[in-house]
Amino acid sequence: MSAIALDRLSKTFGRSVALRDLTLDVAQGEFLTILGPSGSGKSTALSLISGLAQPSSGTIHLAGRDVTQLAPARRNIGLVFQSYALFPHLNLRDNVAFPLRVRKTPAADVTRRVDEIIGLLRLGGLEDRKPSQLSGGQQQRVALARALVFGPDILLLDEPMGALDKKLREDVQVELRRLHKRLGTTTILVTHDQEEALSLSDRILVLADGHAEQVGTPREVYTRPANAFVAGFLGTANQLRGRLRPRDAGGLELVVDGGHSLPLSLPLAPHAGAAGAEVVVIARPETARILPDDPSSPGIPGKIRDAIYLGTHARYHVETSFEEPLIVSSTDPRARHAPGDPVRIGWSPDDLWVLPTPASQP
């Protein structure tokens, strides 16, 4: 039985559709991330699950029970928002204890549970401080402690790291991963940060315009995006347009502008259709091979336009006969390509993903 089951869940505001027919099953103990740009319906999805908003249509089941009409307080869900929403006049201990007091938990249990969760979130020694006397990262850990102290069945996190700087965000991410391992609470995290989604999640749901574009493991959505939007939202994606042609050696290759060809791996083009079809192939910068400019080299000839040194790797913009420059990266510390250098850019067949064309989508 799924911990969370959404069936064709929709929410409209007047004539605008915030969420459209979202169907999703989240397994017990799963960590699922909803990833999408601002305004794509992420917060709307969470507020429907938590009961803070009512769906226009569709149903919500939690652990098999229809909760679509149930009050938020009776869904046993822990919530954390970007604005920590801590009570400014209460100290850390009383902030964390708040949900237990609301539930009229006996005092001895309150003390025990609050101590336990404060220990788990490494907030010991700060119990008497007011929120204003805590750092942003500490405040967010208090908000997490408060959301977990009553043992929720489900934890919903709406951009909880959004207000933190990069270093603190990484700290809270590590904390979240550790907590989830330890407690196994079914969790939905909302974020627009693709790295955060890739690093934390069992599965990712990609939303755009209130519509689910794809659901899959981080590896699936990154290496086998359902469409160009998903490919571009999760990192950088070169889109190679071309026509499929049978290879002499068997299989298919992509023939691009100028007649150059790139061999494809058939398992990565399951829906590619027949030879002759016009397709878009997704090629990531980090899997590109930068080869010498030699007519015997496979790949697409071009010229380095920009070379950007980034410490861990270098990124190059390569001018070819395509409209857009190819973006390729290299982690080879000895490779130094300078603007103007002629090169050839190739990809191993295993790194080229043929996008499903609309007609071939199930």
What is the binding site for ligand ADP (CB under 6 A)?
A: 13, 16, 18, 36, 38-44
CB closer to Mg ion, 55 vs 356: 55
Q: Is residue 43 at the binding interface for Mg ion, with CB under 5 A as the rule?
A: yes
Among the listed ranges 36-44, 126-134, 176-184, 318-326, the one in contact with Mg ion (CB under 5 A) is 36-44
Local structure of 331: helix, strand or coil: coil
Minimal distance in Å, beta carbon 167 to ligand ADP? 25
Among the listed ranges 38-46, 160-168, 256-264, 315-323, the one in contact with Mg ion (CB under 5 A) is 38-46
Local structure of 270: helix, strand or coil: coil
Q: What angle do CA 94, 141, 170 make, to 5 degrees?
A: 170
Nearby residues of 13 by Cβ (< 8 Å), 6 or more positions away: none
Q: Is residue 191 at the binding interface for Mg ion, with CB under 5 A as the rule?
A: no
CB closer to Mg ion, 172 vs 189: 189
CB closer to ligand ADP, 42 vs 113: 42
Q: Which strands make up the sheet holding 326-330, listed edge to edge?
A: 288-292, 342-347, 300-309, 314-319, 326-330
Q: How far apart are CA 153 and CA 229, in angstroms?
A: 33
Binding residues for Mg ion, total number by CB under 5 A: 1
Nearby residues of 322 by Cβ (< 8 Å), 6 or more positions away: 240, 241, 256, 257, 300
Q: What residue is closest to Mg ion based on CB? A: 43
CB closer to ligand ADP, 42 vs 169: 42
Minimal distance in Å, beta carbon 61 to ligand ADP? 21
Residue 51 is given by DSSP the state T
* Residue 40 binds which of ligand ADP, Mg ion, none (CB < 5-8 A, kind-dependent): ligand ADP
Which residues partner with 150 through β-bridges?
A: none
Minimal distance in Å, beta carbon 135 to ligand ADP? 26
* Residue 26 binds which of ligand ADP, Mg ion, none (CB < 5-8 A, kind-dependent): none
CB closer to Mg ion, 43 vs 186: 43
Minimal distance in Å, beta carbon 243 to ligand ADP? 37
CB closer to ligand ADP, 44 vs 91: 44
Q: Which of 184, 282, 213, 169 is nearest to 35 (CA)?
A: 213
- In 14-76, DSSP assigns E strands to 16-26, 31-35, 57-62, 65-66
Among the listed ranges 42-50, 137-145, 171-179, 339-347, the one in contact with Mg ion (CB under 5 A) is 42-50
Nearby residues of 332 by Cβ (< 8 Å), 6 or more positions away: none
The structure tokens listed for 94 are 């009383």
* Residue 136 binds which of Mg ion, ligand ADP, none (CB < 5-8 A, kind-dependent): none
Which residues partner with 156 through β-bridges?
A: 79, 188
If you write DSSP's letter for every residue of 110-156 in order, what string do you get? Answer: HHHHHHHHHHHTT-TT-TT--GGGS-HHHHHHHHHHHHHTT--SEEE
Minimal distance in Å, beta carbon 158 to Mg ion? 6
End-to-end CA distance of the chain: 26
CB closer to Mg ion, 10 vs 261: 10
CB closer to Mg ion, 156 vs 221: 156
Minimal distance in Å, beta carbon 10 to ligand ADP? 12
Minimal distance in Å, beta carbon 26 to ligand ADP? 18
CB closer to ligand ADP, 213 vs 253: 213
Q: List the x/- string, 54-93, binding to Mg ion by CB under 5 A.
A: ----------------------------------------
Q: Which of 124, 120, 163, 113 is nearest to 140 (CA)?
A: 163
Q: How far apart are CA 127 and CA 101, in angstroms?
A: 17
Minimal distance in Å, beta carbon 121 to ligand ADP? 26
Residues that bind Mg ion (CB under 5 A): 43
